[in-house]
Amino acid sequence: MIMITHMTMNNRMLDLWADMEARNDMGIAKLLYDPSLPYHIYATYASDERGYGISFTFPDNIRIDTAPFQNLKKLKVGIYSDGTLVDSKMLLIQLLAPAQRDTFSCLCESLINTVKGMDSEESMIKSVISQLDKWRNLFDKAGSEGLSPAEQQGLYGELGFLKKLISKNVFPASEALDYWVGVDAAQRDFMGDAWAVEVKTTATSNPQEVTINSERQLDETLFDNLYLYHCSVETTKRNGETLPDRINKLRRSLENEPAALSKFNEKLITAGYFDEDEALYAFRAYKLRDESIYRIEGDFPRIKESDLRGGVGNLTYSVVLSACAAYRQSEATVFSTIKHDD
């Protein structure tokens, strides 16, 4: 049995789930997420299994295939009749791991922000199915041992550059987040139409040496402007800024932009950062030593794909930045250039 309740809410899935959890109704309860949306999207809760969920109502003449999402470890996906609307079905996505509720809520919020502007129920429900394909991989990452020290350090540096793009008004927050593509396994960490920035964060005894992970990473062929942003940090146990500190500061700066905040949270999850792992990062803090930006052009020391003989690829090599002083540029120049490029 599905019990229906309508409620005006403050755009928070967690609030709706908490309300239904407190009521402890039998079966699957659901609350309308936002009556002003063009589609019927619900928060759902199954009290017998602490099943937090989200559902999307769509016309029953639209055919979607949920077979690829059966037998997932942490998500249950099904299609049911929706008795509240004539000739309608409901796509129900339930979380099977209650401990990951907060992560799931962030993904739900981001998904709603993605689909609410779509022009048809068919495009909306197909977008949901497409997003599900990402989710099944993300939840396999959750509950692991967290990010490695190198991954934490890399994410810390990327967030530092993202913070600059937002706080210095280079781009609106939501647009800046769109340019942060490193978490999606792109070749560079930030990319616009005609520019890209690769971020390198070092904390070694030789902070001026950075590792380049492929022959394409510093190849400017496809860009009008390609930059290398280098951040040198010192790691400490307490006296500094932890990765959760930096993340929470960015979240506070986005409090008045719900769409951007949802996008940010989803990017973090894609990067493998889950709030339930926050304690794992509490005793690794960072202090900024130095930072610099270099324009990749001319004789900047690097290996490009065109430099290689046939059959050679997937190179990893080092660049000594002390030999790159001639290519160093000011933040103001770089940000003015990439803003103009877009």
Q: In the chain, what is the greatest distance between 2 CA atoms, to the nearest angstrom? A: 70
Rounded CA-CA distance 166/187 in Å is 22
Rounded CA-CA distance 15/133 in Å is 26
| 18: enclosing H helix or E strand | helix 13-23
pLDDT-derived band of residue 83, with 50, 70 and 90 as boundaries? confident
| pLDDT of 3 higher than 50 | no
Which amino acid, residue 20?
A: M
Q: Does residue 154 share a domain with residue 132?
A: no
Rounded CA-CA distance 269/111 in Å is 13
| 174: enclosing H helix or E strand | helix 173-179
Q: Does residue 191 share a domain with residue 330?
A: yes
Q: Does residue 79 share a domain with residue 134?
A: yes
| pLDDT of 276 higher than 50 | yes
Rounded CA-CA distance 278/153 in Å is 14
> Going by C-beta distance under 8 Å and a sequence separation of 6 or more, which residues neighbour residue 248?
none
pLDDT for position 143: 57
* Contact between residue 184 and residue 270 where contact means Cβ atoms under 8 Å apart: yes
Task: Kindly report the number of other CB atoms within 10 A of residue 166's CB atom.
Answer: 22
Mean pLDDT to the nearest integer, 116-123: 89
pLDDT-derived band of residue 262, with 50, 70 and 90 as boundaries? confident
| pLDDT of 144 higher than 70 | no
pLDDT-derived band of residue 194, with 50, 70 and 90 as boundaries? very high
pLDDT for position 116: 86
| 134: enclosing H helix or E strand | helix 121-141
Q: Does residue 262 share a domain with residue 300?
A: yes
| Residue % of the chain over a pLDDT of 90 | 62
- Tell me the residue range of the domain where 124 lies: 2-141
| pLDDT of 341 higher than 80 | no
Mean pLDDT to the nearest integer, 43-51: 90
Q: β-strand 2-5 against 28-32: which pairing, if any? A: parallel
pLDDT-derived band of residue 139, with 50, 70 and 90 as boundaries? confident
Q: What pLDDT, in 10s, does the model give residues 5-44?
A: 332 233 479 999 999 999 888 888 999 999 999 899 999 9
71 Rama sector, left if φ>0, alpha if ψ -120 to 50, beta otherwise: left
Using the 3D structure, point to which of 84, 111, 141 is the last residue of a domain.
141
**Count of domains forming the chain:** 2
Q: Does residue 169 share a domain with residue 27?
A: no
| 135: enclosing H helix or E strand | helix 121-141
Average pLDDT over the chain, rounded to an integer? 89
Q: Of 192, 223, 200, 194, give the one whose Cα is nearest residue 297.
A: 223
Q: Of 181, 174, 176, give the one whose Cα is nearest residue 198.
A: 181
Q: Does residue 273 share a domain with residue 167?
A: yes
Query: Which of residues 99 and 329 earns the better pLDDT score?
Result: 329
Task: Kindly report the number of other CB atoms within 10 A of residue 62's CB atom.
Answer: 15
DSSP β-bridge partners for residue 75: 95
pLDDT-derived band of residue 141, with 50, 70 and 90 as boundaries? low
DSSP state of 87: T
Query: Torsion angle, CA of 341/184/55/90, rounded to 10 degrees?
Result: 90
Using the 3D structure, point to which of 125, 141, 157 is the last residue of a domain.
141
pLDDT for position 1: 37
| 258: enclosing H helix or E strand | helix 258-270
Q: Does residue 260 share a domain with residue 175?
A: yes
Q: Does residue 190 share a domain with residue 94?
A: no
Q: Please name the residue that has the structure tokens 């190198």.
A: 150
pLDDT for position 125: 93
| pLDDT of 209 higher than 70 | yes
pLDDT-derived band of residue 226, with 50, 70 and 90 as boundaries? very high
Mean pLDDT to the nearest integer, 298-327: 93
| pLDDT of 218 higher than 90 | yes
Q: Does residue 107 share a domain with residue 193?
A: no
Least confident of 16-20, 206-210, 297-301: 206-210
